[in-house]
């Protein structure tokens, strides 16, 4: 049984509100969802314990901190080896330019979303990737503009299932 088996429409409403504004005060959240503040606090804590809510963070505009160039780096390994995956992931996650890292199926092995100061900074970063022994190819695509998707709540309402007796 996964966590979605335990979600009801109130849980989904809480998730929807928190995805729009993770700093929403509990009292306001409770009012919007139509439950008591104490119930809302308990439910939010439960969603965290279940691993449905994994954290809260501030989204920062990369350009506002001097990272004006964003790109996607499609990485193809020379050869697939479990021993190479861990160090590569550690390397990429340790780079300050990394915004996201995805392990893929298909022609490319990884997709890395990066933000750099300028094209010279991006070129330096790409050369760091190509210098790695496991990397066979790096294909770079500049990002002109991005939009985030909507809330990641279940597509259809999930009703809490009753336990069998």
Instruction: Check residue 57 and give its pLDDT.
Output: 86
Q: How far is CA 162 from CA 3, 15, 110, 153, 159, in A?
A: 14, 22, 41, 21, 9
Distance CA 86, CA 96 (A): 18
Question: pLDDT tens, 126-158?
Answer: 999 999 999 999 999 999 999 888 777 766 655
Q: Are 122 and 140 a contacting pair, CB within 8 Å? A: yes
6 pLDDT band, cuts 50/70/90, is confident
- Please state the domain extents for the chain: 3-49, 62-143
Q: Are 71 and 140 a contacting pair, CB within 8 Å? A: yes
Strand partners, 142: 71
pTM value is 0.80
Does the domain made of 62-143 have the CATH classification 3.30.70.920?
yes
Which class in CATH covers the domain with range 3-49?
A: mainly alpha
164 pLDDT band, cuts 50/70/90, is very low
Does the fold of domain 62-143 match that of domain 3-49? no
């Amino acid at each position: 049984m996964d966590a979605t088996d335990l979600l009801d429409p109130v849980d989904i409403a809480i998730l929807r509100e928190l995805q729009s504004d993770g700093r929403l005060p509990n009292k306001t959240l409770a009012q919007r969802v139509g439950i008591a503040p104490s119930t809302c606090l308990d439910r939010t804590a439960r969603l965290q314990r279940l691993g449905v809510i994994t954290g809260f963070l501030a989204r920062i505009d990369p350009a506002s901190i001097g990272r004006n160039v964003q790109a996607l780096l499609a990485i193809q390994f020379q050869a697939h080896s479990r021993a190479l995956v861990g160090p590569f992931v550690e390397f990429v996650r340790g780079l300050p330019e990394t915004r996201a890292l995805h392990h893929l199926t298909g022609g490319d092995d990884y997709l890395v979303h990066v933000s750099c100061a300028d094209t010279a900074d991006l070129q330096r970063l790409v050369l760091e990737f190509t210098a790695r022994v496991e990397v066979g190819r790096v294909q770079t695509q500049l990002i002109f503009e991005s939009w985030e998707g909507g809330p990641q709540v279940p597509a259809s309402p999930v009703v809490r299932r009753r336990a069998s007796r």
